[in-house]
Amino acid sequence: MPEIFDLDALTMNEEEATQVSQAVFERTITGGELSETHDIVTGIEHKTQIPFIGNIGLIGKKVTSCDRGVNPAQIPLTEKFWDPVLIGDRFKHCAVDVPSLFKLFKKAQRVNPDFYDRIGSEEMGVIVSKLEQALTAMLNRLVWFGDTAAENVTDGGVITDGVDVDYFNIIDGLWKQIMTEVPAGSANHVNIAANEGASYALQALPANSALGIFRAMHTQIDARFFQAIEEGAQPEFLVTRGLWQNYQDELEDESIGFTLAEVKDGVTQLSYRGIPIKVRHDWDNNIRAYQDNETTWNLPHRALLTVKENIPVGTLSDADFNTLESWYEKKDKANYIDIDLKLDTKHLLPYMTVAAY
């Protein structure tokens, strides 16, 4: 089990940093808390049922006698099932493996046990902070890009060669489900032609194209989705950065930004026809880092119009999303951190979604 600190690219000398505050922490694209975009359903176990209660068909005929017939219409019930998967990982930190780091972190006052037991130390604080970021990024990666049939490019899949597919084949994420239930050519699908470009350069969005995509998506809203919006449902556009940037550019070019922008808490928020637009930088990061065949990216421009209740995330306890278990193992003279949680996600009603890809 490797030490969690990799020092291969770090040069130690007499002028090395002596405080954590002197270190620069690289930014991590995590995607943010799941609850910002999804309903969180807790207490789910294997094969927990999600029932759907359908609608009665036509009712009401002209009455011609007291002996009226019985309408044979029924209320259909269908179902999906939660199928959460147990996900875990372990990290190890041993003080002996990284003695040079202790100029950066506070030194132990005695060898046994303080030198070995680093629980509560500065370096463990750094590890925990970085693992919390990685955990949030993992949750969003699996929720959106999980695929139980994931394969590398050389094996016929879309996962970048050299990337371990075991980090993706845990659950079927939302894009896998949405592309199955809202396939290309369906009524609530909008095609983004730039995705079909034969190179990175040819996949660039043409100028002033995002507005047309958003307009087409709005036009394709199912009548039942529209009615839900009129009754108070709160839809949102989730989009890759290229679409958002293209849209901003067009608003600036046409000097119409002031008619479509809203201000919330003093910050200008972009929306389209009153529907807020949220940029998913983590989608871009995952596509470019993990869905790259060295010529093109896999569908680099994507947008989704739905409500958070339609793309819930299920777990046994949402506290697991932010919980790390850490302990010092005396017999190993090492510190461990474990991650354990159950996770699944579901795309519930296709008609409550418009997908562009």
The residue-averaged pLDDT of 309-334 equals: 92
Supply the pLDDT for residue 222: 96
- For the chain, give the mean pLDDT: 87
| Domain residue ranges of the chain, discontinuous segments joined by + | 29-54+78-356
In 245-324, the DSSP E strands lie at 261-264, 267-272, 275-279, 303-306, 313-314
pLDDT above 70 as % of the chain: 85
The string of pLDDT tens digits covering residues 274-283 is 999 999 999 9
Q: Using alpha carbons, list the distances in angstroms from residue 85 to 27, 171, 176.
A: 29, 7, 16
The string of pLDDT tens digits covering residues 83-103 is 999 999 999 988 877 766 556
Backbone angles phi, psi at 184, to 5 degrees: -55, 135
Q: Higher-confidence residue: 4 or 246?
A: 246
The residue-averaged pLDDT of 128-150 equals: 95
Q: Higher-confidence residue: 356 or 60?
A: 356
Confidence of residue 257 (pLDDT cuts 50, 70, 90): low
Please state which of the ranges 185-189, 212-216, 326-330 shows the lowest mean pLDDT.
326-330
Q: Say if residue 36's pLDDT is above 70.
A: yes
Contacts of 186 (CB under 8 A, 6+ apart): none
Q: Say if residue 40's pLDDT is above 90.
A: yes
Confidence of residue 56 (pLDDT cuts 50, 70, 90): confident
Rama region for 187: left / alpha / beta (φ>0; ψ in -120 to 50; rest)? alpha
Confidence of residue 270 (pLDDT cuts 50, 70, 90): confident
Which one, of 197, 213, 210, lies nearest residue 300 by Cα?
197
Supply the pLDDT for residue 66: 84
Cα three-residue angle 324-34-319, rounded to 5 degrees = 35
State pTM to two decimals: 0.86
How far, in Å, CA of 180 to CA of 178, rounded?
5
Confidence of residue 267 (pLDDT cuts 50, 70, 90): very low
Maximum mean pLDDT: which of 31-45, 191-205, 250-264: 191-205
Supply the pLDDT for residue 65: 83
Q: Say if residue 299's pLDDT is above 90.
A: yes
Confidence of residue 48 (pLDDT cuts 50, 70, 90): confident
Neighbours of 186 (CB within 10 A): 13
Supply the pLDDT for residue 59: 75
Tokens, residue 263: 């201000």
